Chain A
Amino acid sequence: MKPLRHTWQVTLRHLRAIFRQPAWIGITLIQPVIWLLLFGALFKSIAHIPGFTGGSYVEFLTPGIIVMLAISSAGWSGMAYIEDMESGVMDRFLVSPIWRGALNAGSVAQNVIIIAVQSVIVVGLSLAVGGHFPNDVGGIAILIGVSALLGASFASLSNALALVVRQRESLIGAVTSITLPLTFLSAAFMQLTLVPGWIGSVSRFNPVNWAVQAGRSASTEHTDWNLVATRIGLLVVLLIVSAALATRSFRAYQRSI
């Protein structure tokens, strides 16, 4: 009971903070439009490359954009921690009997909610510009689910990192230098049969690629359920490890202050 109550309070607090910033809501809603339409137009002719089998490029791109948006919003999760450290809120929580796991879980829950909303917008847009989702709602739900799983891990890792580095600049540097390369070392924008072999090899160990592949396979024709299941399994393990790390990082933070 106590962990749930605490987690709910932390979630509520994060949601409140973002919903009271109209500019933030605007940016969050517009981002999916920009990415999907911009990338869709820019790389449209990829679908004409010999060997490309993904149907229209927008259709192929949709899962990639959903996963990319998930990690790019969740990656910044730690910024809220740093704000809390600066304002004194973090210290107030840490001298209280709040369950430490709730501080991460609540932040993750808020990120998952944002990811779900953004993903629904991308799917809607994709449908509007002619995309198809043969597996209907079930496939779309799995796509959004794997993005949320990956986003939850990224949010946890970002929170853990924030507790260790305690500096905005360090966190910004780390997040930008991790999320973008991981996105490009995956099948988010390009079919892996068409990329250099080494990228294909690296991508097998890339959680972003796990989510892209599982999400794309689940939402398009000829779903490889075996691939979907194993990737979801891997993402669950990653989330457990990340969440444990995020909760433990409070010790590192408390030792250093």
Chain B
Amino acid sequence: MTEMVVAQELRKTYPGEIRALAGLSLTVERGTIFALAGPNGAGKSTTVKILTTLTLPDSGRAWIAGMDVLAQPNRVRHAIGVVGQKTGCTPEATGRENLVMQGEIYGLTGRALDARIGELLERFDLVDAADRPTRTLSGGMRRRVDVALGLVNRPQVLFLDEPTTGLDPEARSELWEEIERLAGDEEMTILVTTHYLEEADRLADQLAIVDRGRIVAQGTPDTLKSELRGDAIHIELAETVDAARVESALRSLRGLSEIRAEPRALRARAADASSAIPAVLGALESEGVAVSSVTVARPSLDDVYLRHAGRIYRDIEEAA
């Protein structure tokens, strides 16, 4: 059996007609890292909550390692590890005490538990900090305790809900390395949610972009990027303009596609950006539009998101 996580048509609406999931389906193969990316409120966390038995969908079904999440929640709980968005450590307890309790919950006791905890402390470089209350640990260290907590029971499937939010760049890249190691050496299946597309790009074997409660694009990060042809051109404008007028002025230019104008910025795609830009600037000048900067980029997941969700990722993030 290689399908470790299967979700079928998950739907959930919270009181107040807040629709979190609108028919989300996904499949994760054994030993792979699957990233769910999308802005806050897209439905990523709700998906994780349902798959980890924390809450129930209004309709739809899901299986973890072949076990029905809705019918056999307790069996599923033994097979999964979960690192939530929030810490999950008891702040007054030490890392070791947190780990002992977690182990006892899964039925580990005595020497087997001690050995497992020793292993995890070693692995996450927590040996020296193990006997300090987790309240006193740095954000990065506490996050490592969280991940260790999620691994105590040697789960087959590990869920990481926005694991690197709030971490400094160094702690973030350390955690990325650890996640890659888990999937590689231990054949663990990992489902990670993130709102950093950069993180999804770096980690994921499979990436799904979630928007408004459903998956709008899925594939390997490279496939998704290669669906986009050409370079992305991003132009910042010096003043606010009539977006429709600018778009129509550029539409006639050859080799330019996916033109999107906003009041103070302009995005477009070109097979060869370096030869397209002079023409673009010329057209803008004749419209009387002053340009403050021009950036050219190889396709990024931001562009994938823009294309599939029809919105610009950063803007949604800022609004959220």
Contact = CB atoms under 8 A, between A and B. Distances in A.
Given A6-B104, A97-B106, A20 B133 contact: yes
Interface residues of B, number: 33
Contact of A97 (B78, B88, B90): B78
Contacts of A86: 86
Given A13-B90, A16-B97, A88-B84, A97 B74 contact: yes
B105 A6 contact: yes
Contacts of A94: 53-54
B105 A97 contact: yes
A9 B102 CA distance: 9
B107 A95 contact: no
Interface in B86-127: 86-93, 97, 100-102, 104-107, 109
Contacts, number: 78
A2 interface: yes
Contact of B56 (A6, A97, A255): A255
Contact of B82 (A13, A92, A255): A92
A79 to B, nearest CB: 14
Contact of B90 (A17, A21, A95): A17
Contacts of A13: 90, 93, 97, 101
Interface string B53-76: 111100000000000000000100
A224 interface: no
Interface in B28-78: 49, 52-56, 74, 77-78
A89 B77 contact: no
A221 interface: no
Contacts of A257: 49, 54-55
A98 B90 CA distance: 16
B310 to A, nearest CB: 30
Given A6-B104, A13-B93, A17-B92, A255 B55 contact: yes
B80 interface: yes
A5 interface: yes
Interface in B246-292: none
A95 B54 contact: yes
Interface in A204-254: 254
Nearest to A18: B92
B149 interface: yes
Interface residues of A, number: 26
B25 interface: no
A93 B89 CA distance: 11
A96 B74 CA distance: 8
B105 A89 contact: no
A136 interface: no
Given A95-B52, A254-B54, A20 B86 contact: no
B85 interface: yes
A92 B149 contact: yes
Interface string A132-146: 000000000000000
Contacts of B133: 20
A45 interface: no
Given A87-B86, A89-B88, A97-B78, A254 B106 contact: no
A86 B91 CA distance: 12
A92 B106 contact: no
Contacts of B92: 16-17, 20-21
Contacts of B88: 87-89, 91-92
Contacts of B49: 257
11 contacts: A5-B109, A13-B90, A16-B90, A87-B90, A91-B84, A95-B54, A96-B106, A97-B74, A98-B105, A257-B49, A257-B54
Given A88-B86, A95-B54, 14 more contacts: A9-B101, A13-B90, A16-B97, A17-B90, A17-B92, A20-B133, A21-B92, A87-B89, A91-B54, A94-B53, A95-B53, A95-B82, A96-B77, A96-B106
